[in-house]
Every structure is written in structure tokens, then in C-alpha cells.
């Protein structure tokens, strides 16, 4: 079953969620982890994935930063990179709030 996602609503939700960063005490977020596991896109619908891949947050962040300075064209891979960064931020902030 397909999920219909209105782009305008997604943008509004993203703005609300990203506004949550304004509640943090620091201008920067220190993420301690570097490597992460992920399911490759061509395996996302497969519940019997046999192999995971790994990514590097530093590589993801460097590539995302290039979007600001090099006027590099945005690709859909940047969605994956941003998702990895957002997940790491979520993990970092939520664990610091539990302390």
C-alpha cells in the first residue's frame, strides 16, 4: 500500500521538527559516533536482509556541507545523508536528556 505524502505538509513538519534544535543549549551538537549501519535502499522493503552496509557520519556531513559552499547539485542521496545525520542528532540529544 502506497503512502501519499503531500510535499507542503512534509515541509511544514520538517520545519517544526528542525525547530526543535532551537531548544538545545549549544550552537553545535557533538555527535560521538562515527560509523553507523544501514539497510541499502534496494533492500528497504526486504524483511530478510542478510547484509547491512555501513556509513560514516563525517563523510555524510562533509558532502552535505558542500551543498552550501560549492553549489553542488542536490541528489536524492543527500536525503539519505541528512536522514543519517538527523538520526544521530536524535540519538545524541535524547540520550543527553536522559542523563
Instruction: Provide the pLDDT confidence category of residue 60 given band limits of 50, 70 and 90.
Output: very high
Q: Which long-range contacts (CB under 8 A, 24 or more apart) does 78-82 make?
A: 80/38, 80/41
Residue 44 per-residue DSSP state: T
C-alpha to C-alpha distance for 20 and 80, rounded to whole angstroms: 20
Would you say residue 26 lies in a domain?
no
Residue 98, pLDDT above cutoff 60: no
**Rounded to 5°, angle at Cα 60 from 72 and 99:** 140
Would you say residue 47 lies in a domain?
yes
Higher per-residue pLDDT: 29 or 98? 29
What is the full DSSP assignment across 45-65? T-TT----EEEEHHHHHHHHH
pLDDT of residue 86: 94
Higher per-residue pLDDT: 77 or 71? 77
pLDDT of residue 6: 97
The strand pairing partners of 94, in sequence order, are none
Higher per-residue pLDDT: 46 or 13? 13
Would you say residue 44 lies in a domain?
yes
Would you say residue 7 lies in a domain?
no
Would you say residue 12 lies in a domain?
no
Mean confidence (pLDDT) of the chain: 87
User: Could you list the residue range(s) of the whole structural domain that residue 77 is in?
Assistant: 31-98
Summarised one tens digit per residue, pLDDT across range 48-58 is: 877 888 999 99
Mean pLDDT of 25-29: 86
Q: How many domains is the chain partitioned into structurally?
A: 1
Amino acid at each position: 500500500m502506497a503512502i501519499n505524502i503531500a510535499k507542503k505538509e512534509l515541509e511544514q513538519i520538517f520545519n517544526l521538527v528542525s525547530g526543535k534544535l532551537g531548544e538545545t543549549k549549544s550552537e553545535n551538537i557533538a555527535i560521538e559516533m562515527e560509523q553507523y549501519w544501514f539497510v541499502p535502499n534496494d533492500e528497504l522493503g526486504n524483511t530478510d536482509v542478510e547484509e547491512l552496509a555501513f556509513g560514516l557520519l563525517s563523510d555524510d556531513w562533509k558532502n552535505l556541507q558542500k551543498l552550501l559552499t560549492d553549489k553542488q547539485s542536490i541528489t536524492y542521496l543527500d536525503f539519505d545523508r541528512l536522514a543519517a545525520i538527523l538520526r544521530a542528532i536524535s540519538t545524541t540529544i535524547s540520550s543527553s536528556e536522559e542523563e
